[in-house]
Chains A and B, each alone.
Chain A
């Protein structure tokens, strides 16, 4: 008897509560949520790594060597976590959603293979050089290695988003029968790779990664500057991060607005879920929305919310200028995504986006006045904001992915049809549980690693820790006791 048979015969009763579909969706959603944090960390850190490496090698200034060494360590830890969480994900297409893998294999297999061969190898090979090869390669090769690592990270996102964008707005294929199953056959590679969604998604995702990492770098720098105001390297890093935020945060809002219009055109159901718009017709835009009752939290129909709304602006945004434009409502569809999750995720993301713009402008003003490192209030705000980029990035993904339900390939394949037919609820629930436990451990570990790196840096800077005025916030504290 094989392992699979053995375990599937164990009846654990309460474990079998989740259906294979739900458990698989939760498992994939959870895995990708953790993976995406580390993947976007690589993407967002890439420009910092390249810049610090280049400055270090060219100017020989100590501060850049320090910044390079610190952030390369973070990058490396993130990359390892990205690898170890990415491999299970690539397997889950087969283990949990084999019908999807088979139906879409011809369309998604190529880009995924290109990701591995063009991007993943590049990143892994040259990260080895970047981490261990300082004394073994020339300066030039060393700088080039950092560029190739960064390029690999961005290229990896490109191929992955080709796959995801195709799932949102599929093109370039026809359905044929192969081995007794309806599968997608590639007919036009250009159309299939460069789907309407691709450029939108790529720009939005890369910029989101840059914002998230800029906030993280700013937060860590702010913490160290707060502890050690004359730390030259960290003042430089803080300034750099804030400058990057000033460019990227407002851009994301402008871009996001246009992206929303594109979603309204190509996935009206998702757009309606984002706005909790049920009746077809003119749509308002809810600037602020709070539930009137607990019910409205899970079913946010517009009338069940306290809203500050701009009448007809939803129509205006969806159509790009027409206040009377008709927006299709959710009632037109037989099945809808979990509207509340999409609606609140979207609001959370947008709200944070505006907060980031505020932080960027505030930082810009302080920098203009030459007081960036002196404002304790700003430093504290940046420390508190350091994980928020990731919160926005994740909720953005929930809008994209949950908003597409019930489809896994928009209007072509339902998620319920994509799930493994041989998978049992027990197996799926059991592995979901294991993934949750292991990955929670992973996230905690990543946070500890960051904490230790920061503490080590402070010790190098000669900061003696005391409990006086210590930060009691989301970043683990620095102390002498462990």
Chain B
């Protein structure tokens, strides 16, 4: 039955493996953008001592963080479904990084959940440590994991990728919060956001410079190509432009430009990985991809669902749009 509906020996369309490469990176991008601002909120949370402000921060991402985090699972399972060799080598070769990352996610997720269970100072402090610690360590290690994917064992580029993800998370976190809070708090957040933007842009340039000089992961030629130059230039324009808008108090536009930064970062990752999907081993997309029937099946069943998921997200963010009220969103 399926044999007639879905081709067995050929891909639905000739470029389906490349389309799936795009789909996997799309899920990665959604994760980096959406959970990125959650991490940023977690880091900025450490700068607040006022209980009311802390509550506001938690309310800002309470209804959405869990859904945001699911993009990580979507990314991981899509990678497994389409490119099992890449999934398994990436995680097996970076064992402690990967385990460290998921444990950081455990603490980040539990912190806010536990905090509200009990009205006691010491308890809340521990919950806050878990939340802030997880929010810093998770993007750092996830970025390092991405760095290992791109550049193999080279240390400096790997660490810089991690730091870059931390910085860009602060940018999006600050912009997201600024768009949702009252002007006084927003202008404080703005300065963190602008500082992080500058740090991020410098970091990206230093990272790529290092890669060119040391040819880490054999990526020097790719980095010196036009697409990479274009993405970097665009990041600089968007980052600086966004910072200017933030200075003028146009927080919603700033948010849009801030979210563009991790998007561009993901595009950069895609460029660096194409067509060698696992540079440390030289494995190409076409070599790593699963057989036609399997890929056709996940396409036919999965892509419509992906559209539905995007619609849910539009609905979810619609329900919780607008500024945070005094007591959060109400229960």
Least Cβ–Cβ distance between A110 and chain B, in angstroms? 5
A189 touches which of B69, B109, B297 (Cβ 8 Å):
B297
Residues 55-69 of B at the A interface (beta carbon under 8 Å): 62-64, 66-67, 69
Q: Which residues of B contact A131 (CB under 8 A)?
A: 62-63, 331
Task: Flag if B291 contacts A186 (CB, 8 Å).
Answer: yes
Q: How many A-B residue pairs have CB under 8 A?
A: 249
Q: Which residues of B contact A181 (CB under 8 A)?
A: 85
B227 within 8 A of partner (CB) = no
Contact with B along A110-127 (1 / 0, CB 8 A): 101111111011101111
Least Cβ–Cβ distance between B125 and chain A, in angstroms? 15
Q: Which residues of A contact B16 (CB under 8 A)?
A: none
Q: Which residues of A contact B184 (CB under 8 A)?
A: none
* In the bound complex, CA of A91 to CA of B66 (Å): 17
Least Cβ–Cβ distance between B262 and chain A, in angstroms? 20
Least Cβ–Cβ distance between A168 and chain B, in angstroms? 20
Least Cβ–Cβ distance between B195 and chain A, in angstroms? 27
B290 within 8 A of partner (CB) = yes
Q: Which residues of B contact A423 (CB under 8 A)?
A: 92, 95
* In the bound complex, CA of A423 to CA of B88 (Å): 12
A88 touches which of B81, B99, B110, B319 (Cβ 8 Å):
B99
A102 within 8 A of partner (CB) = yes
Q: Which residues of B contact A178 (CB under 8 A)?
A: 85
Task: Flag if B100 contacts A105 (CB, 8 Å).
Answer: no
A381 within 8 A of partner (CB) = no
Contact with A along B58-90 (1 / 0, CB 8 A): 000011101101101110111011101101111
A431 touches which of B62, B96, B106 (Cβ 8 Å):
B96
Least Cβ–Cβ distance between B156 and chain A, in angstroms? 11
Task: Flag if B73 contacts A109 (CB, 8 Å).
Answer: no
* In the bound complex, CA of A2 to CA of B306 (Å): 36
* In the bound complex, CA of A164 to CA of B54 (Å): 42
Task: Flag if A125 contacts B315 (CB, 8 Å).
Answer: yes
B298 touches which of A77, A113, A183 (Cβ 8 Å):
A113
Q: Which residues of B contact A440 (CB under 8 A)?
A: none
A247 within 8 A of partner (CB) = no
For A, the interface residue count at a CB cutoff of 8 angstroms equals: 80
A contact patch SS = helix
Residues 402-459 of A at the B interface (beta carbon under 8 Å): 420, 422-423, 427, 431, 434, 438, 442, 445, 448-449, 452
Which chain A residue lies CB-closest to B109? A84
Task: Flag if A117 contacts B305 (CB, 8 Å).
Answer: yes
Residues 177-195 of B at the A interface (beta carbon under 8 Å): none
A79 within 8 A of partner (CB) = yes
Task: Flag if A110 contacts B84 (CB, 8 Å).
Answer: no
Task: Flag if A94 contacts B110 (CB, 8 Å).
Answer: no
A106 within 8 A of partner (CB) = yes
Task: Flag if B70 contacts A118 (CB, 8 Å).
Answer: no
A132 touches which of B62, B96, B98 (Cβ 8 Å):
B62
Chain B positions within 8 Å of A, measured between CB atoms, are 1-2, 6, 8, 62-64, 66-67, 69-70, 72-74, 76-78, 80-82, 84-85, 87-100, 102-103, 105-106, 109-110, 113-114, 117-118, 144, 148, 153, 155, 158, 283, 287-288, 290-291, 293-294, 297-298, 301-302, 305-306, 309, 312-313, 315-316, 319-320, 328-331
Q: Which 3 A-B pairs have the closest CB atoms?
A: A105-B84, A94-B91, A109-B81
- If A2-B158, A186-B293 are given as contacts, then 7 extra A-B residue pairs at C-beta distance below 8 Å, sorted by A number, are A83-B109, A133-B329, A135-B330, A183-B84, A185-B291, A187-B293, A442-B106
